[in-house]
A and B are shown apart, each in its own frame.
Chain A
Amino acid sequence: AQKVTQAQTEISVVEKEDVTLDCVYETRDTTYYLFWYKQPPSGELVFLIRRNSFDEQNEISGRYSWNFQKSTSSFNFTITASQVVDSAVYFCALSEAGNTGNQFYFGTGTSLTVIP
């Protein structure tokens, strides 16, 4: 079973529109960590945020915001006033505290295209 589901494969928005990328996760652990990464066309992976399961406060960083809801097992990512530079593939990931090592489970990614 997929531990992290990103149902939106591709999204296109016009510049300055807001866009929300969905992430639904599955785990039986009470302690876990959620992440978002950005992969621009150049291919590198850029860390955006880490959130632990005990902290449900929403977080805002500039035009980026994250909504963590344990009740729905979701960790959604919103970009406000999108820009062309936001065009990238975005990955949501999960790490469970019960892991013996460093196992991270990634979603399949959402490809965002921002049209100028």
Chain B
Amino acid sequence: NAGVTQTPKFQVLKTGQSMTLQCAQDMNHEYMSWYRQDPGMGLRLIHYSVGAGITDQGEVPNGYNVSRSTTEDFPLRLLSAAPSQTSVYFCASSYSNWWQGSSETQYFGPGTRLLVL
């Protein structure tokens, strides 16, 4: 299993540009989430999905769109990048019944570092 993969690892954008951060998992997890990590702020939930075709907003959804057309993929779209979106983005996935059993709850990708100029 590759686990949770994210591409690209690093991206520089100009203000106003659009881009899609890719996230994929091969563990057949129902749940997937996007977080952003900013200095002194910890990780904050942007959007999440409980299954294909179902998405919902997290704590900081403004400026981001998501879709979940397949179980495996959960892309995050920035329609018009702003400097405030400079951050490290983490994708995570888990089973819907993660509270059962003793295995790791959320599996995180390696992160995408985004710089918006």
Contact = CB atoms under 8 A, between A and B. Distances in A.
Interface of A: 4, 6, 9, 33, 35, 43-45, 47, 50, 52, 91, 93, 95, 97, 100-109
Interface residues of B, number: 28
A55 to B, nearest CB: 11
A47 B56 contact: no
A101 B105 contact: no
Contacts of B88: 43
A91 B38 CA distance: 13
A101 B44 contact: no
Interface of B: 31-33, 35, 40-45, 48-50, 56, 58, 88, 90, 92, 94, 98-99, 102, 104-106, 108, 110-111
A45 B45 contact: no
A91 B43 contact: yes
Contacts of A108: 40-42
A101 B48 contact: yes
